[in-house]
Amino acid sequence: MEWFINVFIVLPLIGFLVSLIIPKRKENLLSRISFTTVGIQLFAAVGFISFWVFNNAKVINVKEFSIFKAKDYDFYVDFYFDRITATYLLLGAILTFIITIYSRYYLHREEGYKRFFNVILFFYLGFNIVIFSGNLETMFIGWEILGISSFMLIAFYRDRYLPVKNAVKVFSIYRIGDVGVILAMWLSHHLWHENISFYKLGNYELVHEHLANHSMIGFVISIMIFISAAAKSAQFPFCSWLPRAMEGPTPSSAIFYGSLSVHIGVFLMMRTYHFWEHQISFRIFVGSIGLITSLTATFSARVQATVKSQIAYSSIAQIGLIFIEIALGLETIALVHVAGNAFLRTYQLLVSPSVVSYKIREQFYNYIPRRKTIEDSWPKRLEYSLYIMSLKEWNLDTFMYKNLWNPLKRFGSKLSFLTFKNVFVLFAVVFISGIILAYNPKLVNPTWKFYLPLIYGLLGLVMVIKAFTERASVRLSWSLIITNHLSIALAISFNEHFDFSHHIWYLSGVLVSGIVGYLCIQRLRKLEKWVSLDQFYGHIQEHPKIALVFLIACLGVAGFPITPTFIGEDLIFSHVHENQVLLAAFIALSLIINGLAAIRIYARIFLGPASKNKIGAAKRSA
C-alpha cells in the first residue's frame, strides 16, 4: 500500500513533462493531457482513500531515499499520509480537475494557452509534494514549486505592466515565507540533531523531552513556521498581496488564491501542530493574529470596488477563522472549513464574470437603493474612520514598503561606489584572502575566528542589497548575486566540520546558473541597443528562447530545486551554530534578497510592455 503513494507524485510529473513537448497550436491535446492526468489522479485518490479507510485508516510514513548524507545530517525524501493529507488530496484533485475542464474553453485561442496548462500541471506537482511530505525538507521542494508557479500565473499577461509588477510583489512575500521554513529547518537541526520527520513529531514524549530543556528554541521554531504559513495564506500583516494576485486569469485565481495555494499555510500549521500544541503562549498568538486578520479582512472586503478583490478578502477572513480553530485544537472543524471555503471561493471566482454583467444590468434596469447596515448605527467618526482605513487596506502595503523595502533601497542607493570594475577588484582581493584564512586556521587569531563569518556574511548581504537596488547595469546586478553566494560559502568555511564537498553542493548550481545567465545577458546586449533595470522592456516577445534559458538560470541562483544548490542551502544552515544568530540572520536576508534580485532582473528585462512597441501602451492599468 505504501508504494502507491509514489503514483500521486509521479503522475503529475509525467503529465507536466508530456505537456512541455506538445506544440502550442494543439490546444485540444494540451487540455486533454491536463484533465486526463488530473482525472486519473482523482480516480486513484478515491480508490486509495477508500482502501485506506477500510484498513483502519492507519498513519503511513515512508522514507524513500537519502539525497545527501553527512555527519549529523541526512537530507532524505519522506512521504506521510493521514487524514489531513487525504482531505487535501481529494480537495486538490477535484478542484484541479474542474479548473482544467473550465480553462479548456475559457482560454481558447489565448496566446499563453500552452503556458497556462504547463504551469497548472507544474503547480499540481508541487501541491502533491507538499501534502505528501513527511518532513520539512521534502515539503520545501513543493513549497518552492508553488512559489514560482504563482509568479508565472500572476504574470500570465506578461505584456502588461500591473500583472508583472504584482507578480514580483507577491513573489517577494513568498520569499519571506521560504526563508521562514529554512530557518525552522536550521533550528530543528540544533534541537533534534537530525532532520526530524512529521511522524516523530507525533511522539509526545520525544517532543516534550526536547522542548523542556530548549523552550526558547522551540518557540522560535514555531514563530518561523507561523511566518511561513501567514505569508502563504495571506494572514496579517501579509494580507495585501492576495487581491493583487488576482491579476492572472480567472481560472488561476480560482485554483491558486481561492482554493488550494492559499490554504497551504493552513496545512503547514496543522502538520506541525504536535510540535507547538503545548506552547500556550504561541497558541494564543496564532489565535490573536487569526482574529485580527478576520476583522480587518472583513472590513476591507466590504469596500472593494471589484468582485475579485471582494472574494479575496472574504477568503482571507475565513482563513483567519481557520487559524483560530487550529489554535484551539479543532482539527476536524478546520479541515471541514478548509474544504467549504475552497469550494465556495472557486465557485465564486469562476462565476464572477457573469455576476458582474448581471449586476451592471440590474443597475440600469432594476436599481435598488443601498440598504441600511449595522454600521449606520455607529458614531459617524468611527464609521468614517473604519471606512477610510478599509479603503487603504489598513496601510499594510505601506507598512511593508516603509519598514522593509524602502530602507533597503535607500541603503543600496548609498553604495554607488560598487561599480562593475570595483566589485571585481574588491571581491577578488577579499575572496582570495578569505580562502587563505579559511584553509589555514593557524593564521587566524582565536578571537577573530568568531567575527570572520560575520564579516563575510555581512559583506555578502551588502553585495546582494546593491544587486536588488541597482537600476543601471544588468551585468553588475547579476554579478553581485553570484558574489553574494560566494561570500556566504566563505563565511561558513570558518566553522568546523565544513569540508570542500559541501562547497560543491552549494556552489555548483550557483556557478553554472551564473555563467549561463551572464551569457544570456551578453547575448541580449548584442541584439538590443540598450538593456538596463530602469524599466520593463518586454524583450520576451522578440527573444523567447533567451528569456526561457535566463529564467532557468534565475531559478538556479535563487536555490530552486533544479540544482544541488537547493540542498546546499539547507546544508549551509546546518553548519551555522546555535549561538550564531546574527550570521543566520545575514544569510537568511541574503537568500530572501538574492532570489528577489534575480527574479527582478528577469521581470525588468523580459516582461512588461514591449519597449519597441510603436503603439502606445499604458504603464499602469486600473
Q: Are residues 344 and 449 in the same domain?
A: no
Within a domain: residue 25?
Answer: yes
Does some domain include residue 379?
A: no
Q: Does residue 379 have a cis bond before it (omega within 30 degrees)? A: no
Residues in the chain where the model's pLDDT stays below 50: 614-616, 618-622
Is residue 614, in this structure, part of any structural domain at all?
A: no
Q: What is the pLDDT of residue 622?
A: 38
Q: Are residues 174 and 240 in the same domain?
A: yes
Buried b (16+ CB within 10 A) or exposed e, 377-399: eeeeeeeeebeeebeebbebbee
Rounded Cα–Cα distance for residues 508 and 506 (Å): 6
Instruction: Look at the chain and report how many structural domains it folds into.
Output: 2
Q: Mark whether 275 and 147 lie in a shared domain.
A: yes
Task: Quote the DSSP letter at residue 3.
Answer: G
For residue 2, what is the DSSP state? G
Is 373 inside a domain boundary?
A: no
Does residue 388 form part of some domain?
Answer: no
Q: Which amino acid would we find at residue 519?
A: L
- The β-bridge partners of 60 are 81
Burial of 114 (0-12, 13-18, 19+ CB in 10 A): buried
Q: What is the pLDDT of residue 621?
A: 45
446/334 same-domain check: no
Pairwise CA distance, residues 523 & 545, whole Å: 11
Domain ends where: 346, 361, 376? 361
Write the burial class of residue 228 (CB in 10 Å: 0-12 exposed, 13-18 middle, 19+ buried): buried
| Per-residue buried b or exposed e for 467-484, using 16+ beta carbons within 10 Å of the residue's own CB | bbbbeebbebbbbbbbbb
d(CA 114, CA 96): 16
Distance CA 86, CA 132 (A): 9
- Residue 569 and residue 179 in contact, taking contact as beta carbons nearer than 8 Å: no
Q: Which of 316, 335, 361 is the C-terminal boundary of a domain?
A: 361
Q: Are residues 448 and 312 in the same domain?
A: no
User: Looking at the domain assignment, is residue 331 inside a domain?
Assistant: yes
368 within domain boundaries: no
How much is the pLDDT for 575? 81
Residue 64 lies in a domain: yes
Question: β-strand 73-81 against 60-70: which pairing, if any?
Answer: antiparallel
Per this entry, what is the length of the chain? Answer: 622
How far is the C-alpha of 579 from the C-alpha of 195, rounded, in Å?
A: 19
Same domain? For 430 and 356 the reply is no
Same domain, 497 and 589: yes
Q: Estimate to the nearest angstrom the gap between the alpha carbon of 56 and the chain centroid.
A: 36
Which domain covers residue 14, as residue numbers? 2-361
Closest alpha carbon to 474 in 525, 406, 428, 545: 525
Same domain, 165 and 266: yes
349 shares its domain with 423: no
Burial class (CB in 10 A: 0-12, 13-18, 19+), 453: buried
298 & 433 share domain: no
Exposed, middle or buried, 238 (CB in 10 Å: 0-12/13-18/19+)?
Answer: buried
What 8-state DSSP symbol labels residue 277?
T
In sequence order, what are the beta bridge partners of 78? 63
pLDDT for res 519: 94
